[in-house]
Structure 1
Amino acid sequence: MPLTAAQTGIWFAQELDPQNPIYKVAEYVDIQGRVDLVLVEVAVRQAVADTEAFRVRVEVDDEGMLWQVVDRLVDWPLPVMDLRETADPWAQAQEWMQSNLRRPIDLRRAPVFSFTVLRLATDRFLLYLSGHHLAMDGFGFSLFIQRIAEVYTALDAGLECPPSTLGSLGLLLADEASYRASDRFTRDRKYWAEQLVDRSDAVGLAGQLAVTSHTFLRQTGYVPAPVVDRLRALARRSRASLPALAMAALAIYVHRLTGASDLMLGLPVTGRTGTVARNVPAMLASQLPLRMRVHPQMSIGDLVHHAAERARGLLRHQRYSYEHLARDLGIVGTGEHLFGPVINIRGYGPALCFAQHPVTLHNLAIGPVNDLVVNVYDPSGDGALRIDFDANPALYRSEENAAHHRRFLVLLENLAGADLDQPIGRI
C-alpha cells in the first residue's frame, strides 16, 4: 500500500538522519491496582493484531516508490521488568523509558514499536508504549490504548474478546485518495494559498530556527485550578474556548519577546474530518500555520476572538497537510520553516480503566521539536492545567526553557485577573 502524505514527509525526514530517535512517539499507562499480567499481554497482542499501522514496514521499489507492507507479526517481544526491589522503582522506570526513547527505529524492519510492562509494586504497573511517528500519531495512540483497555476489561470479567471496531489502513488510504480527487481538496488548497500569499518569515524566541535535534528539553508545570476557572470565564466572555485563550497567550508572549506583529505559530491537527479517519489508528496528523496579527493596543477580548476565528478556519481546512503546503510553496528540502513556536492542545479522549482499576495516561514524546512546542493538556482530576514546554536543545539551554515556561505561566495568571477591554500591551 502507498504511504499517506503525512507518512511520506516523516519517511524522508528520517532518511536524512537515519539514527535520529526524535521521530518516536511514546505514552505510558499508569495502572493503579493488581492486574493479571497474562491478560495484559493477551490484550496488548490483540490490540496489535487489530492495528495494521503497528505491523507495517516500509519498502522502496526499484523505481524509488515507497510502499508500506503489513506483516502478520506474531512473534514480537513484550518484556516485563520487575522493579520492586530497586531503591526507587518510579525513578528507575522513568530512567529506563527515557533510555528506550533514545533508541532509533528501523522502518524497513518490523516491529516499528517497543512495548514493555514495568512493575513498580504489587498493585502498580506502567505500560510503556512507543512507536515510530510514521506508524502512529497521538489520536491513533488513543484509539490503540482504548482497545487494550477494552480487551483486558472483557477478559478480566470472564467474557470473550469483544470484536474490534477499528478500521483498516486500506480504508484510510482509499479515503485519502478520494479526498485528493475531490472539490474539497481544491477548496482547501485555495484557502491556504490565500492565507499564505504574503506570509511573513517564521520567528522563534531564540532569534533563529534550527534543524531537528535528536532529543528535546521538557519543562513541566501546572496552572492551579482556581486560575484555570478564571481563564475559562475570561474565554467564555470572549465567546471562545480555553484552547483559543491559550493560543492568544502564546501570541502575546512571542510578540513581546520578538516584536513581530504578523506571527506564524504552528498548530498540530489530527487531519481526521470523517468517520473513516476517526476509527483508524495510524499516522494522519500534521502541523499547520496559525497566522495571527498582534499589536499592543489590541484588547484581550479582540485577540482571543481573533485566535478563535483563525483556529476555526484552520481546522475547517486541516486535511490539507503540511506536506501539501510545503510542496505548493516550493520549500521542500530547503530547510525553510513555515512557523516558529507551536501550541499543541492535547486531549486523551474518554477516561479509561483496566477492569476496575483506574489508569492515567502520560505523554513522553510527541515527535520532532524544531523550535519550541507548548503542550496544553486537558485539566486533570483536581482541575489543574498541565503545560509542558518542549524545546530544541540546539536553540535553548535548559535554564532558558525553564525561564520561558515560568514567564508563560505568570502571563496566564495575569490574564486570569484582567479585563477583556485591557490592551495586551498593558498586561
Structure 2
Amino acid sequence: MDIFENIPNPKHRIASGWFPLSSSQQMVWVDQVLNPDSPAYNFGVVTELIEQIDIEALIEALNDVAHKHEALRTSFHIEDGIPFQEFADSIDVDPRTIDFSKESDPEDEARKYLRRKINEPFDLSGNRFWDAHFIKIDREKHYFFLRFHHLISDGFGMSLIVESLSKSYNKIVQGDSYLATYGVKSITEETFESYSEFLKEDRAYLTSTQFDRDREFWCERFADIPPSELPNSVLSASGHSFSNSLEWELDRATYDKCAALASSQGCSMLHLLLALIALYFTSIQALDEIVIGVPFHNRTNARQRRTLGMFAAVMPLKIRVERTRSFTALLKRVSSDTQCCYPHQRFPVAEINRSLNLGGIGRRQLFDVGFNFDTAVNKIPFAGTLCRFQRIMPNFSLNTLDIYLREHSLAANVSVLFNYSADIFERQDIAVLRKRLAILLDAILEDEDCPVGQLPLMDADERRLVVEEWNASAAAYPEGMCLHELFEAQVATDPSAVALVFASAELSYGALNGRANRLAHHLRTLGVGPDVLVGLCVERGFEMVVGLLAVLKAGGAY
C-alpha cells in the first residue's frame, strides 16, 4: 500500500479547522487501521511522586499543559475515506484515581495495572488519544501515569510534557518561590509552537523538489538491498508481534571508556554503539552489510523542539563491515555514513520501502533490528523534590529486535533494553546476545586497532562447549565396511524400523533398501561401476537418499 495515496491534494475540500495528517502520522494511522487490536503504537511515562501530592493542583497543572500543547487536544475525523485531524480550543482533563494502598502488595498491583493499561489499544474512532492515571501506593508515595498514542506524540514530546507538567505544578503549589526549584530568578512564560504549523511545512515538503531528491538518494543508497540480518525473522504480514524484554546493565566505567574512545575518533556514542551492533550481527550471520533502523526526533529547528506532536521518523542506516580493518576504522565509517544520510532523514521510511518495491521481494521493511539511543533526563522536580520518571512500552513490537540504550547522567549504570519478538526469540537467545555483546565490547576496549574479524564473540567456556563438547561426536564403527554395507546390516537387523521421515511420510529400512536395490540394478545396466561418478540433482526427499545409496550399491561414487 502506498501510504501517500490517501493524502489529500490541495484541491480536496477540507472542513474549516481540519488538517491532513503529517507523513509520520499517516504511516502510524494506516498501520493502526490495519491492526486495530494492536497496542504497538502506545507508549507511556510513569513518574514516581515520593511525598504528599496536591491532587487538585496536579489536575490543574495537567489542564494547563493541555491548554498549552495543541497536540493534546487532537481528534480525528474521516472524510471520503481520508483521515483528518482537528484541534479543540480546550478540553477538560480528569485523571483516573486508583488506590492500591490497602492491597497486600500495592507495588505489585500497580505494576500489573500499568502493564494492563499500556497494552490496551486506543480506539481510533474516539476523541482522546491520551489519558492520565493517579495511582496511590501509600500516604507518601504515588505514581502518575500518562499514556499516549503515537498519533499525537513521540518520545521527545513525552519529555516535553513531563517538564511542562513539573513547571505548572510547582508554580501552582509554590507560587513565586517555585523559581528557586530551577535555580533561577525568573522564568519567561513558556510559549509553545502550534503543531498545525508543522503540518503546513510537512505538506510543502511532500510536494517539493527536496522530496524528489531525497527519494533519489535513498533509491541509490539501496540499489543493492542487503539480506535480512535475522533470516529466521518471519513475522506476521503486518509486522506486529508479541514481545518480551531483557535488560543489560552496562556499568558506568565501561560506558565512560566507550565515550572516550568515540570522542578520540571524532565520533559520538551513537556511532560507536551502531558499529558494535553491526559488527555483532554481521559476524554471527556471515554478512558484509546490515541495515539498522535508527529513530530520530525529526525536529529541525528550535521552534519544533518546543512543539508537542508526532514528528519522529526512522532512518534505515546501511553499515558495511570489512573484517580485515580495525574497529576504529568501522567506527569512522559509521560516523561518515550517518552524516551522509542526515540531510535526507526526513524522507519517510515507508516511502523508501515502497520506492524499492520491498513487498515484491517478500520483505516488509529494510531492517529487522532497531536501535534507540536516549540521553534525556529521568528526574524532574515536583514540589522541590527530584522525582524519577521512566518510559513504559507495550508488549508488542514492530521489529524483530529493538535495542534501547538509556543513559541518564544521574544514574549509577546505563540501561540497555532488548525488546524482542517472542515469535522469533527465546529468552535464552537474548541472554546469549547480551553476554556476547559484553565480550565483544570488552575486547574492543582492550584493543581498538585489532582487525574486527579477529575479535572474540564467546568466552572460554562457550568456546569449549562449541568447539570441543558439541564436536565430541566420535563413535566406534566397523572400519572395514562401506557406508551402503553398514546400511544393509541395519536392514538385516530390523527391516521394519523407520529409516526416513519427510514431511508427514515415513519409509522403513526394508522399503528404502528395496528402492535403492532396484535403482542400483538399473544404474549398472547404464555402465555405473567402480571409478564412475554419478551426479545427483534432486529436491530434498526420499529420492535423494535412494539415489545416493543406489550409486554406492552399483559401485560408483556420487
Q: TM-score, normalised by structure 2?
A: 0.71
- Point out the more displaced range, 262-271 or 49-58: 49-58
Distance 2:56 2:171 in 1: 14
For 1:326-337, what aligned pairs fall within 5 Å after superposition? 326-331=353-358, 336-337=364-365
Distance 1:121 1:37 in 2: 14
For the 8 Å contact 1:266–1:343, the answer to whether it is kept is yes
For the 8 Å contact 1:21–1:215, the answer to whether it is kept is no
Distance 1:383 1:349 in 2: 13
| Structure 1 spans left out of the alignment, 5+ residues | none
Tell me the residue number matched to 2:443: 414
Higher CA-based Rg: 2
Is 2:432 aligned against 1:403? yes
For 1:85-104, what aligned pairs fall within 5 Å after superposition? 85-104=102-121
Distance 2:51 2:118 in 1: 26
Tell me the residue number matched to 2:48: 30
- Deviation at 1:341? 0.7
For the 8 Å contact 2:241–2:423, the answer to whether it is kept is no
Distance 2:214 2:124 in 1: 31
For 1:212-223, what aligned pairs fall within 5 Å after superposition? 212-213=239-240, 215-223=242-250
Tell me the residue number matched to 1:166: 192
Is 2:218 aligned against 1:192? yes
Q: 1:147 aligns with which of 164, 173, 176?
A: 164
> Relative contact order: is structure 1 or structure 2 higher (C-alpha 8 Å, sep ≥ 6)?
1
Tell me the residue number matched to 1:116: 133
Tell me the residue number matched to 2:336: 309
Distance 2:376 2:123 in 1: 28
| CA spacing shift, 1:360–1:168, aligned 2, 3 Å | same
Tell me the residue number matched to 1:236: 263
What CA deviation, in whole Å up to 9, does each residue of 1:365-422 have, x standing for no partner?
Answer: 1774321001011244244211000011221123323332333233333333x22211
Question: What is the RMSD computed on CA atoms of the aligned residues?
Answer: 2.4
Distance 1:310 1:271 in 2: 18
Is 2:84 aligned against 1:67? yes
Is 2:149 aligned against 1:132? yes
Distance 1:28 1:75 in 2: 21
For the 8 Å contact 2:233–2:400, the answer to whether it is kept is no
Distance 2:105 2:21 in 1: 43
- Deviation at 1:119? 2.1
What CA deviation, in whole Å up to 9, does each residue of 1:193-212 have, x standing for no partner?
Answer: 22112222332274545543
Distance 1:32 1:128 in 2: 14
Is 2:287 aligned against 1:270? no
- Point out the more displaced range, 157-166 or 382-391: 157-166
Is 2:458 aligned against 1:426? no
Q: Percent identity?
A: 22
Tell me the residue number matched to 1:204: 230
Letter in 2 for 1:16: L
Is 2:425 aligned against 1:390? no
Letter in 2 for 1:420: E
Letter in 2 for 1:340: D
Q: How many residues align?
A: 425
| Structure 2 spans left out of the alignment, 5+ residues | 1-18, 179-186, 456-558
Letter in 2 for 1:28: V
User: Matched residue of 2:242: which SS?
Assistant: coil
Distance 1:20 1:380 in 2: 34
| CA spacing shift, 1:78–1:374, aligned 2, 3 Å | same
Letter in 2 for 1:339: F
| CA spacing shift, 1:129–1:205, aligned 2, 3 Å | farther
Distance 1:249 1:73 in 2: 48
Is 2:39 aligned against 1:21? yes
- Deviation at 1:85? 2.7
| CA spacing shift, 1:77–1:400, aligned 2, 3 Å | farther
| CA spacing shift, 1:413–1:321, aligned 2, 3 Å | same
Tell me the residue number matched to 2:58: 40
For the 8 Å contact 1:212–1:392, the answer to whether it is kept is no
Q: 1:376 aligns with which of 396, 402, 405?
A: 405
- Deviation at 1:82? 2.3
Tell me the residue number matched to 2:252: 225
User: Matched residue of 1:28: which SS?
Assistant: strand
